[in-house]
Amino acid sequence: MSEFTHLGSQLVNLCSVLLLLSCFAIVAQRRLSACVDLFALQSFFLATTAALVAFLTGHRHIYLAAALTVVIKVIVLPRILRKVIERLNVSRELVMNINIPAGLLICGGLVVVAFFITQPIIPLGYLLTRDSLAIALAIILIGFFTMIARKKAVTQMVGFLVMENGVFLGATAAAYGMPLIVELGVFFDVLVAGLIAGIYTHRLQDAFDSVDTSELTALKE
Amino acid sequence: MPTLLTVLLACYLLGGLLPLCTSRPHLQNILTHGAAAVAGLAGIVLGFVGLFAAQPLTLSVPSNIPLLTVALRLDPLAGFFVLTISLVGLAASIYAQGYVGEYAGRVSAGLLGALLNGFLLSMTLVVLADNGFFFLILWEVMSLLSYVLVVTDHERPGVREAGLFYLIMTHVGTAFIILTFVIFSQEAGSFSFEDFRHPDQRLPEGLRSIAFFTALIGFGAKAGIVPLHVWLPYAHPAAPSHISALMSGVMIKTAVYALIRVYFDFLEGVFPWWWGFTVLSVGAVSALLGVMYALMEHDLKSLLAFHSVENIGIILLGIGAGMIFHTYGLHELAALGLLAGLYHTINHATFKALLFLGAGAVQFATHTRDIEEYGGLLRRMPWTGLFFLIGAVSIAALPPTNGFVSEWLVFQSLFLSVQLPTLFLKLMLPIAAAILALTGALALACFAKAFGMSFLAQPRSAHARQAVEVPTSMRVGMGILAGSCVVLGLAPMLVVPLLDRVTGPLTGVAISEKVLALDGWVVAPVTVEFSSISTPVLAALLVGAGLLGLLIARWLGKGVRARYTRTWGCGLPLTPRMEYTATGFVQPIKQVFETVYQPTVKLEREFLEQSKYFLRHQRVEFHTEPLFETYLYRPVVKKLLALAERLRVIQVGSLHLYLTYIFVTLVLLLLWAG
């Protein structure tokens, strides 16, 4: 392995680690607007990783994916989320299903699980990004965990988007990204999901005077 | 064939789409039902083409979906059913043009018409399908469309429940049908019917028997055999009447088609004697119980629906007898039994559809379905009365109608069991014949009630007093079917050779030459000496006797002046309260068959305070116990609900909990896989 690719691989790993760290920051954060900001930051790291991979491998289409990430996940979606928060007039999450210290511990456990699961697979890979696979899985699991641990619809949406980031990183790590057409479709889906969830949160507020999804149990007869 | 098929497909599709082009209900009505009628005509021609084709006509388009090929095959059997479906479809779509007026303002005529077109198309394609997957898709489309049509009137109480019941039962049936096809595909290696017919090697005996039962249950649920019939008396009457006519007249016949296809085509007609005996027993029980429950019904359409159970039983009696004979190599008798079953199939399709259309016409005029509220309709609706009478006489199997001919043929094939080698069957088949005889007698009583209470005497309600004759299109629709009933009854010499083309390939022998004696004027299954019948001669005799009586009366009464006056009522004025009621009419039968009906009578009396010999108020309630629902279905439903209640523990409706389920499953699976 040449000096250049070795350095590149190290850089990719560094970016991945930053992604993971931002996940932990989201889990530890009570304030909703800070969560959204952290998500934007995480997406920026993701875009950087994708751009790095594109530069190192020469796969042009990954540049496009990186650019789209910046536009949609760093700019558009956080703006939508901030608007929702503004309108709903909720700034922080006071009650959670699982409190922050316990949540951080569980997330640590999830990272271990992710590394444990991917350990037998990683040596089989030959791509310079292969180590990121474990981190990608960890991000997916943490995103999912955020959805369970938090009660407010907005943070649940952030959790969902974090999961999506994990999937994107995983795809980049395992296969240098999906075919362009698939990626475009995924971006579109995320955007639509964001819009729908924004509307849904609004309706929730109207119906229950709160964005707490635990209230949805009332829908059961 | 391709041209006709294209016309048929195009018309049904146009019938479904044209209503979208205009927003005027009247135009929608004409367009959609007109298209269905044209398609029906094309279907009749297509049916005849299929019957007369020397070789089965096939058409096949491969598709991208695995195992699925859009394959059609028109052989005489399929042709016969296409003919039946299209004939009833033609009458129903003409009838519908007037009948949808009943739904004006509530349900769009265009929507009803579009669904009708889709329903007819799916039924036609079901009998033409030549691929298991394609068949199942069409079967499902047919079931779902008929469900949607059943719940047209969903605001009326009970209709939604009836629809749900139907939906569940039909899907239980479909599950068994899928099982049947999966068994066949084991040896065939594909879902093509052609491979089902000629598998690489014959299925093992055990699997064949399982396939026999799964097919009987699966298709039997649609056909309405006892004890799978319970949904039928709820669902068929709930639909608009022209749809009831199609469901009772032809949709349940697609199950008969499929049973014949499976037993005689896929299983090559090789089976042990007890298969035929099972079909025969199921038929006998269905026939008897169907008619017995029909007798107790006072809702005209439910009564007709129970009669469908009875008539499916009669059809299965013929087919079952045919199967038994086939096992013992008596091919000519097998063909006779099958022919009798098929003859009754088309007969039942025509007269049952006619009766449902008639019931719809009566409902159209009186806005009620309770027989007790009818009476005296013959004077107010002479055409409907005439057509209903023709249908009633046919279903009661009185000579010389079509119902008589086919039931007589079923009788003959049952009596010919003397040629069977085993004593057991020699005894059992005549018993089946005896049950059929009882069924026939009860059916006659039932239709004496249905026609007499509805059309004769004086009106028993304001609804009936204000009834007027229905629009022309409805009368034309009924007229087509009434005409078909008469032709099918009076011209067996035309029908039997056609049916012979169907049974010939299935049993390997042609029998029309033998069955028809004296150029076809006489039907004689064995020899003219053993038994023979000639409906044209019978009809001529009946008419002749009537004319003779008239002549004699004229001749004897010469010089006597006729006096027209009111019916004598012992000096009292005649009122509707003096009439025999439907409940009273069947009371003796209820007493005789107490074990089956398990009737409960509730009598509430209130006396005057001064003396217990003077009633102030009296109230009587009659109930009969629906045996199968009480003792078979309700326990099962109860168990299911109890199980569901226990499963509810994990369904608390919390979003977070559901997410946790997914999460835990995901992590565990990952750990397990890693």
Tens digits of residue pLDDT in B536-549:
888 888 899 999 99
B640-658 tens-digit pLDDT: 999 998 988 888 777 888 8
Q: Is residue A135 part of a domain?
A: yes
Task: Report how many domains make up chain A.
Answer: 1
Give ∠ CA A169-A173-A174 in degrees, rounded to 5: 120
| B620: helix, strand or coil | strand
Q: Which of B653, B663, B673 sits opposite A144 (nearest CB)?
A: B663
Asked if the model's pLDDT at residue B6 lies above 80, the reply is: yes
Q: Are B92 and B113 in contact (CB under 8 A)?
A: no
Give residues with Cβ within 8 angstroms of B352, minimum separation 6: B245, B248, B249, B304, B307, B308, B311, B391, B395
Q: In Å, how far is A58's CA from the nearest CA of chain B?
A: 32
A91 touches B: beta carbon within 8 Å: no
DSSP state of B108: -
Q: Are B525 and B416 in contact (CB under 8 A)?
A: yes
Q: Which two three-digit tokens encode residue B594? A: 């107490």
For A111, the closest chain B residue by CA position comes to: B667
| B157: helix, strand or coil | coil
Structure confidence at residue B355 (pLDDT): 95
Structure confidence at residue B527 (pLDDT): 64
**H or E segment and range at residue A28:** helix A3-28
Q: Are B394 and B444 in contact (CB under 8 A)?
A: no
**A128 — pLDDT class (breaks 50, 70, 90):** low
Which of chain B's residues have a Cβ under 8 Å away from the Cβ of A220?
651-653
| B458: helix, strand or coil | coil
Around Cβ B194, how many Cβ atoms within 10 Å?
16
B89-115 tens-digit pLDDT: 999 999 999 998 888 888 888 889 999
Structure confidence at residue B244 (pLDDT): 94
What does the DSSP assignment read for B571-612? TSPP-GGGSPPHHHHHHHHHHHTHHHH--EEEEEEEE-SS-T
Query: Contact B652/A220, CB-based, under 8 Å?
Result: yes
A151 touches B: beta carbon within 8 Å: yes
Look up residue A111 and give its amino acid. V
Q: Would the CA dihedral through B218, B223, B225, B229 be positive or negative?
A: positive
Listed by start position, the domains of chain B span 273-547, 628-673
Question: What is the average pLDDT across B63-79?
Answer: 86
Asked if the model's pLDDT at residue A86 lies above 90, the reply is: no
Q: In Å, how far is B206's CA from the nearest CA of chain A?
A: 47
The ipTM assigned to this model is 0.84
Q: Are B399 and B376 in contact (CB under 8 A)?
A: no
User: Hey, of B659, B662, B666, which one would you mutate to test binding to chain A, going by the most A CBs within 10 A of its CB?
Assistant: B659
Query: Contact B653/A219, CB-based, under 8 Å?
Result: yes
Which of chain B's residues have a Cβ under 8 Å away from the Cβ of A117?
670-671, 673-674
Query: Contact B656/A118, CB-based, under 8 Å?
Result: no
Q: CA A130 to CA A169: how far, in whole Å?
A: 11
Asked if the model's pLDDT at residue B349 lies above 70, the reply is: yes
Q: Is residue A161 part of a domain?
A: yes
Of B319, B490, B520, the C-alpha closest to B405 is: B490
What does the DSSP assignment read for B170-192? HHHHHHHHHHHHHHHHHHHSSSB
Q: Are A113 and B621 in contact (CB under 8 A)?
A: no
The dihedrals phi and psi of A76, each to the nearest 5 degrees, come to -70, -55
Structure confidence at residue B86 (pLDDT): 95
For A151, the closest chain B residue by CA position comes to: B656
Give the N- to C-terminal CA distance of chain B in Å, as an integer: 59
Q: Which of A113, A119, A216 sits opposite B653 (nearest CB)?
A: A216
Q: In Å, how far is A134's CA from the nearest CA of chain B?
A: 12
Q: Which two three-digit tokens encode residue B184? A: 């066949």
Q: CA B489 to CA B534: how far, in whole Å?
A: 10
Q: In Å, how far is B660's CA from the nearest CA of chain A?
A: 6
B401-435 tens-digit pLDDT: 899 999 999 998 898 888 888 888 888 888 999 99
Helix orientation angle between B331-366 and B472-490, rounded to the nearest 10 degrees: 160
Which of chain A's residues have a Cβ under 8 Å away from the Cβ of B662?
144
Asked if the model's pLDDT at residue B67 lies above 80, the reply is: no
A141 touches B: beta carbon within 8 Å: yes
Q: Which two three-digit tokens encode residue B303? A: 């009564």
Q: CA B298 to CA B109: how far, in whole Å?
A: 29
Q: In Å, how far is B62's CA from the nearest CA of chain A?
A: 29
Q: How many CB pairs under 8 A join A and B?
A: 45
Which of chain A's residues have a Cβ under 8 Å away from the Cβ of B671?
113, 116-117
Structure confidence at residue B535 (pLDDT): 82
Structure confidence at residue A13 (pLDDT): 85
Query: Contact A148/B654, CB-based, under 8 Å?
Result: no
Q: Which two three-digit tokens encode residue B393? A: 């006489």
Q: CA B134 to CA B354: how far, in whole Å?
A: 31
Which of chain A's residues have a Cβ under 8 Å away from the Cβ of B654?
214, 216-217
Rounded to two decimals, the pTM is 0.81
What does the DSSP assignment read for B470-482? PPHHHHHHHHHHH
Chain-centroid distance of CA B624 in Å reads 24
Structure confidence at residue B529 (pLDDT): 65
Q: In Å, how far is B672's CA from the nearest CA of chain A?
A: 9
For A117, the closest chain B residue by CA position comes to: B674
Around Cβ B394, how many Cβ atoms within 10 Å?
29
Structure confidence at residue B623 (pLDDT): 82
Question: What is the average pLDDT across A190-218?
Answer: 76
Helix orientation angle between B331-366 and B402-415, rounded to the nearest 10 degrees: 150
**B664 — pLDDT class (breaks 50, 70, 90):** very high
Question: What is the average pLDDT across B559-582?
Answer: 82
Q: CA B182 to CA B132: how far, in whole Å?
A: 9
In a 10 Å sphere around its CB, with 0-12 CB exposed, 13-18 middle and 19+ buried, how is residue B613 labelled?
Answer: exposed
Query: Contact B659/A97, CB-based, under 8 Å?
Result: no
**B147 — pLDDT class (breaks 50, 70, 90):** very high
Asked if the model's pLDDT at residue B518 lies above 60, the reply is: yes
B161-193 tens-digit pLDDT: 999 999 999 999 999 999 999 998 887 888 888
Q: Are B568 and B578 in contact (CB under 8 A)?
A: no
DSSP state of A152: B
Asked if the model's pLDDT at residue B525 lies above 90, the reply is: no
Q: Is residue A201 part of a domain?
A: yes
Q: What average pLDDT is seen over chain B?
A: 89
Q: Is residue A158 part of a domain?
A: yes
Q: Which residue is associated with the tokens 């298709």?
A: B219
A146 touches B: beta carbon within 8 Å: no
Higher pLDDT, residue A94 or B133: B133
Q: Which two three-digit tokens encode residue A118? A: 């991917």
Q: CA B413 to CA B341: how far, in whole Å?
A: 10
A116 touches B: beta carbon within 8 Å: yes
B546-556 tens-digit pLDDT: 999 999 988 88
B205-241 tens-digit pLDDT: 888 899 999 999 999 999 999 889 999 999 999 999 9
Asked if the model's pLDDT at residue B306 lies above 90, the reply is: yes
Give ∠ CA B25-B29-B33 in degrees, rounded to 5: 165
Q: Is residue A221 part of a domain?
A: no
Query: Contact A120/B666, CB-based, under 8 Å?
Result: no
Structure confidence at residue B215 (pLDDT): 94
Residue A36 is part of which domain span? 3-89+96-216
A171 touches B: beta carbon within 8 Å: no
Give residues with Cβ within 8 angstroms of B61, minimum separation 6: B69, B70, B71
Question: What is the average pLDDT across A22-42?
Answer: 91
Structure confidence at residue B359 (pLDDT): 94
Query: Contact A220/B666, CB-based, under 8 Å?
Result: no
Q: Which of residues 58-77 of A touch B (CB under 8 A)?
A: none
User: Hey, of B651, B652, B656, which one would you mutate to test binding to chain A, going by the most A CBs within 10 A of its CB?
Assistant: B656
Q: CA B608 to CA B571: how far, in whole Å?
A: 31
Structure confidence at residue A221 (pLDDT): 55
Query: Contact B659/A116, CB-based, under 8 Å?
Result: no
For B652, the closest chain A residue by CA position comes to: A217
Which of chain B's residues have a Cβ under 8 Å away from the Cβ of A120?
674
**B473 — pLDDT class (breaks 50, 70, 90):** very high
Structure confidence at residue B544 (pLDDT): 92
Q: Are B71 and B333 in contact (CB under 8 A)?
A: no
Q: In Å, how far is A55's CA from the nearest CA of chain B?
A: 32
Q: Which of B653, B655, B674 sits opposite A117 (nearest CB)?
A: B674
